[in-house]
Copies of this chain bind each other. A is one copy, B any other.
């Protein structure tokens, strides 16, 4: 049986990545593609790499008959997403890729995003989409909130360690390096090739990046008390990829054993042999997350490094993984594409 899906916000990178993945999914059919600013165009005009696919033309959201849709992906910008989802049928299953439903607490949302949430009643309903930790809730969820790509990377590294008490939750530094596609297809001077190529820099330094809202929420919940990590993202001249280097306090072997046990049965999260460290190039274009653990020269200090593709495991791949669960499909369906290297 084929499930019909719609993608709202199909003209952005996460929309295109959803189409790329669903293109070889055996049990999903793209029944509608919406992008209000480009309605009327074909997907092949907006993304010529998808021109070979038989896809519906882009329409406005209003033109979609959601009665025909089994599941809807929302790849819309933040703030827009909450307004659109609020107006969608209340029985429509939705995977949202925006930041709008990641934070359950309206006050936390307002603190990090600066506005009062337009659909705060749905915030409570939404399930946080970090599949490996919310699997049961996602299976029965109506609305799943895709995680931040940085948050996903860091949470895969840190969540089991805090849950197990393997590290000191007050002494966590997470230094993250991400490729430029995470910023989307928006026209900003600092995203131009001439500005970015051959250079790199930190941004949102000092604990101001919005993904900290997710870290605070998730790590505090699992610790049972407030946890605030130090987090600095950096932009590097590459299109895809997140590499996060975590500096934690805890015994390296205990850290390694905790992570190995946590992901032993997971198809997509791979803990490398002790002492090996990951590279973004080895997960590019795939739904895998690689995690490595190394002991520091000073006892009691450990380095944990995680890598994933921000557009796949960090966003659209995660969304598809969650959609599979919501539609009672095998979780890995359509997601076992090999990484693309070189």
**A residues with CB within 8 A of B:** 13, 16, 19-21, 23-24, 47-53, 173, 175, 177, 179-181, 183, 185, 187-189, 191-203, 205-208, 212, 228, 230, 232, 234, 236-241, 243, 245, 247, 270, 275, 277-286, 288, 292, 294-298, 301, 303, 305, 307, 311, 336-342
- Selected contact of A197 from candidates B47, B198, B212, CB within 8 Å: B198
Chain B residues, CB < 8 A from A228: 297-298
Distance of A183 Cα from B148 Cα, bound (Å):
33
**Of the residues B194, B241, B338, contact of A53 by C-beta under 8 Å:** B338
Cβ–Cβ contact B247 & A173, under 8 A: yes
Q: Return the contact of A238 from the options B173, B183, B237 (Cβ within 8 A).
A: B237
The CA-CA distance from A20 to B342 in the complex, in Å, is: 11
Bound together, the chains give a CA A237 to CA B297 distance in angstroms of: 27
Q: Are A305 and B205 also in contact (CB < 8 A) when A191-B193, A282-B48, A337-B337 are?
A: yes
Partner of A208, one of B196, B282, B297: B297
Cβ contact within 8 Å between B238 and A200: yes
Q: What are the residues of chain B within 8 A of A208 when measuring CB–CB? A: 297
Q: A243 vs B232: C-alpha distance in the bound complex, in angstroms?
A: 13
